[in-house]
Amino acid sequence: MAWPPDPDWVDMGTITVTPEDVEVLLPNPYTLGLDDNVLMIGTQGPELVEPWPFSFGLVSFEIDDQSLFGTAKVFASPTAEVYKLSSGLPPVERTGRLKYRPRSFNLGWVSQEVIQPLTLQFWCTSYNDKVVTTLGGGTNSTYVTPDGDHYRFKNVDGDQVILQL
């Protein structure tokens, strides 16, 4: 699969880490869409080498030094892989950066005579996967389709009325 798979994916940059690195902030910031609550992260590692010395790392999306969508365990695969981060709700601040933390306790990596650095490429895209968001009182709610169409459900005299926004 060629990366990125479509134009909605944004290049977050390439990093090179060694076992001595504790964490690395990717160079490019990313801004989630207005109501997006899911961040998809694509990664691709180096060409396959034998024996494979690399382990995994942890990646998070951070805004103001806080990890808002949790953390994903990312493997240094030579083929592109995709990981999903989500907190269930869109953040108030939407621009942040990816932070990668290599797990340097892999003896196959740290015990090499000449330690091979790990280079990873990252891409991001975001979307909203919420089906219903309450709008006060529990009687009104909205629905956003994956295509971005907005619908409002309103309780009128005990009947659900659907309005397209």
Tokens coding 118:
């790990």
91 band by pLDDT with thresholds 50, 70 and 90: confident
d(CA 23, CA 15): 11
- Backbone φ/ψ region at 139: left (φ over 0), alpha (ψ -120 to 50), beta: alpha
Q: With residue 82 as reference, give the H or E element that holds it.
A: strand 81-86
Single pTM value for the model: 0.72
Fold of 10-127: Jelly Rolls (2.60.120)
pLDDT average, residue stretch 13-37: 90
Concatenating the DSSP letter of every residue in 6-73 gives STT-EEEEEEEE-TT-S-EE-SS-EE--TT--EEEEEEE-PPP-SS----EEEEEEEETTEEEEEEEE
Q: Where are the domains of the chain?
A: 10-127, 133-164
What pLDDT does residue 151 have? Answer: 57
